[in-house]
A and B are shown apart, each in its own frame.
Chain A
């Protein structure tokens, strides 16, 4: 197996959209020698245990991924991933494009079941309940999570109906409850002021960024235990990004958030823990500050500093 010809990560580009909210906390360490032994082992197809920082052992875990392997047809996309997501905290996943972040996220609420070609080994548990056991009610499982996809996917209906969709499918009819949830969710997603006068218009007539925030509002409408966010801010301007980040900050404690991002500043701003993935493997996982300032692996360091390879 040949290592990916990796493009420079989006980190550099993302820096400009971060919008100077915080001081940049990038590692000031001088460039080290490019890592070689690990990459060589990976290209030989060996299993490499992830570098997990000890702080994680002290946390209570809401989601545990155990030896997860995933294949798209013949091609393996995830290799023995072990990842414990702490409860009530924000965990960021970073890594170069195509390394399997979205794939891992979609495994959490079993979105990959919808693809015939996907084969999965290993298990995950949500608050101790297995996700991949045979008798799991997938629909109930998904109701415990909210997900925002990489590409906005509003439904072909009004803005209002989009937001209250999770309640609708549960049979909620009470107008007062629906109105209240709609407003709360839209405010949470920093969209309320823009759309409060056009709730009955089609959601497909919104801009891309508005659509993405609508999807966020939809994901939090049913107050899920875990929030899965796949690059929720990739289509947003700095102000909206800031609002969404505020929202994530507010949600933490009550909810557990797993967020994929290409924006290093964002990861460092909002997350307690950060997981670095590379070539379908979890490479390093630990407190965000440690990952960005003092990573244990050279690969992590090169990635977060914007140099790679």
Chain B
């Protein structure tokens, strides 16, 4: 007979509940912690905090944004490492007989990297003159276009016509003069772009000369260069022209075209250069004189200031404005100063295009392969072996794919393409190096197993009775697959796509070998014909994180950007996933049965 109501704990399944519940809780805590860390650091980076000014015991002053306070263990033996004025104070803090105490130090973002050499400064509590902490109302943050942030107080503003003395007058004039300065910057950029475009045309003409050379087997580039020299004596010119007349016709045409372009460019470039140097001179003549906390006076041109604000005089809305404008800059601009400032637009765009191109490759291939394996191939030893091999492929370290991509796609195929179609550019590789196409293909290979496995699963989940129903209506195999099997398997296939996208967008290691770079001169997909440039290398958020965090010359200043970029990458992957999941949910609703 069974016992009464007293049942053992094990029989009730309690331990299993607790064990699995605890495992889940730990998993969630870890994931939640990771996300919280990134969110906290990433979201806070751009918020403009107050600037505090503290006077140290040696009389010097420090101005900066507080980044955090930390406690550390101070030993008697390491007291001599503190600044001289702080040592007696620190020693006095040690109780009799104790060898170590908890000490406090504050991390200040002091910036002025050009002037002081570092972005962050630790200020030990023992160093600070008690009660010297203030928030000066004229503390100003100036974000310079290529020198990092400047923190200090305005002294005067100098223009060729007038000098505005005192912080108020100078700041007011600065606000008034800035639009004109920004306009000058824009104009300058336009001029630079124009002359850059001229350079590209000349480079293309030179390539045409080179390919004419290769066709005819006659040298011509030296002659072309000599002919486009501007200071050419009459006798020299006749000699060179006579030489030109002897060249084969198509080489001659190419040389003439090149010379024409060079001359035209020379003519057009002269006024451009003049205008540019005039703008530079105007910019140099209009500057703010700023004083750092240590009393040093620094000149900052109005035109080099990207963003300037009075950190302690801002209202909450004003801060929000600065915050949003920084985010906007981050999302829409190119990086400045080795990524420590500016934005990551090229990396966002590079990640998105790379992932999309990868998806375009991997999904059709994976689905077709899975279709063959599941619907056409005779199930047997070989198919099982293929299946095992595909599954194993998913476990191969991604760097192996990177090496393979570099060797096979870049060097072998890319090198071959260069030999055949871009011979005139050699030894500069066109496709024979990392680029969007090769990176996408490498990642497509990497994510192929995911798609194949998911698709196979989806196909095998299609009930056989549906297939039979279709055959009984007189449908062919392909009609059955296209009209019944694929639509029914679509949600599962999309799941595979989601997994592939998530994996591909977050992958970094292979990309370092096959095309991701820290600064790309141009976007891989842009408004310039032919719009998609598969051979271009590109920036990638994942690689950008690695590059900023561990390769940047100014790692300290880059750290906040690392968190923001991580946040962005996670948001991007999450968005791609959500989009695919939404799509899948819509399809699911169409295909699930409510009956039985």
Q: Which residues of A contact B (CB under 8 A)?
A: 109, 111, 114, 116, 139-140, 142-143, 145-147, 149, 151, 153-157, 165-166, 168-170, 202, 204-208, 210-211, 215, 218-219, 222
Contact = CB atoms under 8 A, between A and B. Distances in A.
B463 interface: yes
Interface in B466-482: 466-476, 479
Contacts of B475: 139, 165, 169
A255 to B, nearest CB: 16
A215 B474 CA distance: 14
Contact of A153 (B379, B468, B476): B468
B472 A147 contact: yes
B316 interface: no
Interface string B552-596: 000000000000000000000000000000000000001111111
30 contacts: A111-B471, A111-B472, A114-B467, A114-B468, A114-B471, A139-B476, A143-B474, A145-B472, A149-B465, A153-B463, A155-B466, A155-B470, A156-B484, A156-B488, A156-B591, A165-B473, A166-B474, A168-B483, A169-B475, A202-B591, A204-B594, A205-B594, A205-B595, A206-B594, A207-B595, A208-B596, A210-B595, A218-B473, A222-B473, A222-B474
Contacts of B591: 156, 202, 204
A74 B472 CA distance: 26
A208 B596 CA distance: 6
Contacts of B479: 169
A234 to B, nearest CB: 14
A139 B474 contact: yes
Interface of B: 378-379, 463-476, 479, 483-484, 487-488, 590-596
A157 B484 CA distance: 8
Given A140-B474, A155-B484, 4 more contacts: A149-B465, A157-B487, A205-B594, A206-B594
A146 B472 CA distance: 7
A142 B593 contact: no
Nearest to A202: B590
Nearest to B587: A156
A147 B475 CA distance: 13
Contact of B468 (A149, A154, A156, A206): A149
Given A156-B591, A202-B590, A202-B591, A151 B465 contact: yes
Nearest to B462: A156
B480 to A, nearest CB: 9
Contacts of A109: 472
B590 A156 contact: yes
Nearest to B466: A153
A197 to B, nearest CB: 17
A169 B473 contact: yes
Nearest to A113: B471
A153 B463 CA distance: 9
A155 B469 contact: yes
Contact of B593 (A139, A204, A218, A222): A204
Contact of A149 (B469, B483, B595, B596): B469
A107 to B, nearest CB: 13
A251 to B, nearest CB: 17
B491 to A, nearest CB: 10
A246 to B, nearest CB: 23
B488 to A, nearest CB: 4
Nearest first, the 6 A-B pairs at minimum CB distance are A143-B474, A204-B593, A153-B465, A153-B469, A147-B472, A166-B473
Contact of B483 (A169, A204, A207, A211): A169
A206 B595 CA distance: 6
Contact of A204 (B378, B464, B592): B592
A146 B474 CA distance: 9
Nearest to A106: B468
A265 to B, nearest CB: 26
Contacts of A146: 472-473
A8 B167 CA distance: 105
A156 B471 contact: no
Contacts of B594: 204-206
Contacts of A222: 473-474
Nearest to B592: A204
Contacts of A143: 473-474
A180 B483 CA distance: 22
Nearest to B487: A156
Contacts of B463: 153
